[in-house]
């Protein structure tokens, strides 16, 4: 059922626009406002929510990181993100007004499930963002938001990430409206931009060949770095996971401003640095961080909104994404990075659908 694609992973990367439509459209009503009535989640669930804790593992955790960055910046509500296997053995700092969002594609990850069980001893505002219908996490949480991404077969998560991130955006619009932190107009504009994401991903996918060509260079490198600030840094975390899990290249995500506090000593001739610079507020800061890596010989791939980069001292390869509000660039940037991971794996003769030592679902401890 690969439908002509050589691997499930690339098929699932291409399914992202449709998967996003299935996640987003049923939750936006004809007035362009967030609507969870078909999910059976009442507005009262979002009232009196003082803080949010996202609990998850792996890719789902990184989707939560992107969600945290966006929700805090848009709504000003404190959000913490906890690794499920840590959260479940620590003292949870939550109360009955805390919302706990457990995020899981499979809905069966044992640490996330146990973290949910623990959270429910403190609050009944637990909400699961889950893909697999009727899974344990979906059954045990107070509310469920199904992502409707369709089956994800490849071990490396791709479409599950995009729809999880989109779910956080839908939730932000709802919480913002219910708590008076967003006006109707603001929520409508926010959701109108969210609706543009599937089309924008189609455009990224039309540049697939260029991304494939650039990965030829990665076949023999032992290390790679993904850098960015703000939301870009959160995207970098998932991007680095995508490269390492299927290509076996050691990849690290770094907050660009942290480079000179240690990591820059690892930058040497030819080390790939994938730099994300889509956040307007910190654009010039990231560019100066990139220059620092370039000056030390890094091979820099830049993802930004610039139409063209003519200064060869900034980067070796440039991918331009169309202008968009800072908080929405994640949807396009991550697809470029998923393709970098996929083609690097294929170039190295690895089966990206079945990387060594990894299972699709981690149901035992």
Q: Collapsing DSSP states into helix, strand and coil, what is residue 223? A: strand
Which lies closer to ligand M6R via its Cβ, residue 128 or residue 287?
A: 128
Query: Within 13 Å and on the Cβ side, how many CA atoms surround 44?
Result: 3
Should residue 135 be labelled a site residue for ligand M6R when binding is judged by CB under 6 A?
Answer: no
Task: Report residue 136 as tokens.
Answer: 């344990």
Angle of the 159-178 helix axis to the 16-24 helix axis, nearest 10: 20
Smallest gap, in angstroms, from Cβ of residue 140 to ligand M6R?
Answer: 14
Interacting positions 239-268 with ligand M6R (CB under 6 A): 245
SS3 at position 51:
strand
Among 23, 109, 126, 304, binds ligand M6R (CB under 6 A): 109
> Does 112 engage in binding with ligand M6R (CB under 6 A)?
yes
> Binder to ligand M6R among 105, 141, 278, 338 (CB under 6 A)?
105
Member of 54, 101, 155, 253 binding ligand M6R (CB under 6 A): 155
- 156 or 276, CB closer to ligand M6R? 156
Residue 237 interacting with ligand M6R (CB under 6 A): no
| Positions 47 through 76 that interact with ligand M6R (CB under 6 A) | 57-60
Buried b (16+ CB within 10 A) or exposed e, 52-84: bbbbbbbbbbbbbbbbbbbbeebbebebbbbbb
Give the C-alpha separation, 151 to 132, whole Å: 8
User: By CB under 6 A, is residue 149 in contact with ligand M6R?
Assistant: no
User: Would you say 112 or 293 has its CB closer to ligand M6R?
Assistant: 112
Contact 194, 95 (CB under 8 A): no
Provide the b/e sequence for 270-301 (b: ≥16 CB within 10 Å): ebbbbbbbbbeebbeebbebbbebbeeebbbb
Are 170 and 180 in contact by the 8 Å Cβ rule? The answer is: no
The reply to whether 215 sits near ligand M6R by the rule CB under 6 A is: no
Residue 69 CB contacts under 8 Å (≥ 6 apart), including other chains? 230, 231, 234, 327
Residue 126 sits in the site that holds ligand M6R (CB under 6 A): no
Judged by CB under 6 A, does residue 162 bind ligand M6R? Answer: no
Token pair 């457990």: residue: 102
Closer of 193 and 361 to ligand M6R (Cβ): 361
Stretches 3-11, 19-27, 103-111, 286-294: which one binds ligand M6R (CB under 6 A)?
103-111
Task: Candidates 153-161, 192-200, 223-231, 268-276: pick the segment binding ligand M6R (CB under 6 A).
Answer: 153-161
Determine if 165 is a binding residue for ligand M6R (CB under 6 A).
no
Residue span 1-40 as binding mask against ligand M6R, x where in contact by CB under 6 A, dash where not: ----------------------------------------
Using CB under 6 A as the binding rule, whether residue 157 contacts ligand M6R is answered as yes
* The two three-digit tokens of residue 294, written as one number: 């370039």
Output the smallest distance, CB 59 to ligand M6R, in A.
3
Angle, to 10 degrees, between the axis of helix 184-205 and the axis of helix 159-178? 170
Question: Is the Cβ of residue 245 or residue 326 nearer to ligand M6R in the bound state?
Answer: 245
Closest separation in Å from C-beta 105 to ligand M6R: 4
What is the spatial distance between Cα 196 and Cα 352, in angstroms, rounded to a whole number?
29
The site for ligand M6R (CB under 6 A) is made up of 57-60, 104-106, 109, 112, 155-157, 245, 361-362
């Amino acid at each position: 059922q690969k439908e002509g694609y050589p691997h499930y992973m690339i098929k699932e990367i291409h399914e992202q626009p449709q998967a996003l439509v299935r996640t987003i459209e049923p939750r936006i009503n004809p007035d362009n406002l967030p609507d969870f009535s078909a999910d059976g989640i009442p507005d009262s669930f979002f009232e009196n929510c003082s803080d949010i804790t996202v609990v998850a593992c792996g890719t789902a955790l990184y989707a939560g990181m992107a969600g945290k960055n966006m929700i805090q910046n848009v709504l000003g509500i404190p959000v913490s993100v906890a690794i499920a296997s840590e959260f479940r053995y620590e003292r949870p700092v939550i109360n009955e007004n805390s919302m706990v969002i457990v995020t899981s594609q499979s809905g069966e990850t044992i640490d996330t499930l146990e973290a949910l069980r623990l959270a429910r001893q403190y609050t009944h505002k637990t909400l699961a963002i889950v893909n697999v219908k009727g899974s344990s996490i979906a059954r045990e949480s107070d509310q469920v938001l199904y992502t409707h991404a369709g089956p994800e077969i490849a071990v490396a998560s791709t479409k599950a990430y995009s729809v999880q991130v989109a779910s956080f955006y839908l939730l932000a619009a709802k919480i913002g409206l219910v708590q008076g932190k967003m006006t109707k107009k603001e929520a409508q504009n926010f959701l109108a931009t969210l609706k543009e994401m599937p089309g924008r991903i189609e455009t990224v996918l039309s540049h697939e060949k260029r991304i494939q060509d650039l990965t030829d260079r990665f076949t023999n490198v032992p290390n790679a770095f993904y850098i960015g600030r703000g939301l870009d840094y959160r995207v970098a975390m998932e991007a680095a996971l995508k490269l390492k899990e299927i290509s076996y290249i050691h990849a690290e995500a770094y907050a660009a401003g942290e480079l000179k506090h240690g990591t820059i000593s690892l930058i040497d001739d030819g080390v790939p640095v994938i730099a994300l610079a889509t956040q307007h507020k910190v654009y010039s800061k990231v560019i100066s961080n990139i220059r620092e890596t370039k000056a030390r010989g890094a091979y820099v791939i830049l993802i930004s909104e610039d139409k063209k980069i003519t200064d060869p001292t900034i980067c070796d390869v440039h991918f331009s994404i169309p202008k968009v509000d800072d908080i929405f660039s994640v949807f396009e940037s991550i697809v470029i990075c998923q393709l970098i991971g996929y083609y690097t794996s294929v170039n190295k003769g690895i089966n990206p659908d079945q990387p060594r030592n990894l299972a699709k679902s981690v149901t035992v401890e």
